[in-house]
A and B are shown apart, each in its own frame.
Chain A
Amino acid sequence: MSVPSGVDTLPALGADLTRCSVSGLSSGAFMTVQLHLAHSSMFIGAGVVAGGPYRCVESFPTASAIAEDAWVQNAFFICMNPLIPEAGPKVPRLLEIARQTAADGMIDPLHHLEKARLYIFTGTEDKVVDSAVVETTRAFYVGLGVDPDNILFDDRVPAGHALLTTNPEDSPLGANEPPYLNHWSAPTMQSWQILDHIYGKLTPPEGPPRGRLMAFDQRPFFGDESRASMSRLGYVYVPPQTRKNVRPRVHVALHGCKQGASYVNLVNGLPDKASSPPYGNRYVTTTGYNEIADANDIVVLYPQVEGIDDGRTQNPEGCWDWWGYSSPDAAAPDYYSQHAIQIRAVHAMLQRLGSSA
Chain B
Amino acid sequence: MPIRKASMMAPARADPDALPAALLRLAKASLPDPAHPLRTPLPFVPVSRWMTSLQLLKHQGASRPEQTMTATLALPTVMFSEAAAREATALGAAVYQQVLGLWADWIDGLTDLGQDMGTLRQVNTVTKYVDEENNLALRGVALLNAQVTAAARLMENVQVNVAWLIGRHVTPPAD
Contact = CB atoms under 8 A, between A and B. Distances in A.
Which of B70, B158, B160, B168 has the most chain A CB atoms inside 10 A of its CB? Answer: B160
B134 to A, nearest CB: 13
Given A78-B161, A78-B164, A84-B87, A62 B95 contact: no
Contacts, number: 82
A63 B156 CA distance: 11
Interface string B17-55: 000000000000000000000100000000000000000
Contact of A63 (B58, B158, B164, B173): B164
B62 A65 contact: yes
A153 interface: no
A64 B59 contact: yes
Contacts of A74: 160
Contact of B59 (A66, A77, A83, A90): A66
A63 B87 contact: no
Interface string B65-79: 011001000000000
B59 A69 contact: yes
Given A65-B62, A66-B62, A83-B98, A92 B174 contact: yes
Chain B contact residues (Cβ within 8 angstroms of A): what range? 20 to 34
Nearest to B36: A310
Interface in A74-88: 74, 76-78, 81-84, 86-87
A333 B128 CA distance: 51
B118 interface: no
Interface in B153-175: 153, 156-158, 160-161, 163-165, 167-168, 173-175
B160 A90 contact: no
Given A74-B160, A77-B157, A310-B38, 9 more contacts: A62-B70, A63-B163, A63-B164, A64-B63, A66-B58, A69-B59, A77-B161, A83-B94, A86-B165
Interface of A: 59-60, 62-66, 69-70, 73-74, 76-78, 81-84, 86-87, 90-93, 96, 274, 310-312
